[in-house]
Amino acid sequence: MYFDKNVKLLRTQKGLSQQDLADSLDLTRSKLNSYERGVQPPFDIQIDIADYFNVTLDGLVRHDLSKLTHFKLTQILKGSEADVRGRKLRLLTVSVDANEEENIEIVSMKAQAGYTGGYADPEFIKDLPKFKLPFLPKNKTYRSFQIKGDSMPPVIEGSWVTASYLQDWNDIKDGENYIVVTKDEGIVFKRLYNKLKSDHSLTLVSTNSAYAPYTLHIDQVMEVWKFETWNGFEV
């Protein structure tokens, strides 16, 4: 684990004293000093520190950031990589069955307004209906979303799209279909074109030509789920 080493590296890279960083995080300097000396902080403080430095919690804890180039490290600290790797996303909230296997939560059209505010809330996720699709590989996390509108035929309104969670948005493949959870537009199902490296955006295209393509800046994206399968019956 590299948490203590990485915190010190990122702090010094930003030119901050221990007192400067402690003040920003509402900690005492002695507490911060102990974390840089190997004491494990509470989980909520780990998240606060990761958010402050614009890195994932996983990256802060499990990866040696000193191996990054100076340019790459500077990009991260300046926030120029936005949320491409999902670094401001929470650890994804999921539910499991009695065998500790993940369920597939069902997000109906009625539940979608609440989902954008409660997707990280274990209580909200726990209350969603659940089901299993035994033919799907077990090494992914899945969620099923009910589709609104007629922009993506042959998938019609009311159909259910089951998709797998995508942590690193660099892995979005041009011309493939995804569920995108957005801040302002709710949950949309579109064909995506990846413009993250050029201008931190995605181009969203409908299969119904009556709907024009449009651009979505990555700051508007909350979650991305890769299309796996769909059906047209009511759950």
| Low-confidence winner among 6-20, 60-74, 83-97 (lowest mean pLDDT) | 83-97
pLDDT tens by residue, 193-209:
999 888 889 999 999 99
Q: Which CATH class is domain 104-231?
A: mainly beta
How confident is the prediction for the chain on average, in pLDDT? 87
What are the structural domain ranges in the chain? Answer: 3-78, 104-231
Instruction: Give the whole-angstrom CA distance, residue 50 versus residue 7.
Output: 9
**Kind and range of the H or E run holding 106:** strand 104-107
User: Is a pLDDT exceeding 80 seen at residue 106?
Assistant: yes
Spatial contact of 116 and 181, defined as CB atoms under 8 Å apart: yes
153, HSE (Cβ side, Cα atoms, 13 Å): 5
Burial (Cβ within 10 Å: 0-12, 13-18, ≥19) of residue 68: middle
pLDDT tens by residue, 14-30:
899 999 999 999 999 99
Considering the domain 3-78, what is its CATH architecture? Orthogonal Bundle (1.10)
pLDDT tens by residue, 140-187:
999 999 999 999 999 999 999 999 999 888 899 999 999 999 988 899
The secondary structure of 151-199, three-state, reads CCCCCCCCCEEEEEECCCHHHCCCCEEEEEEECCCCEEEEEEEEEHHHH
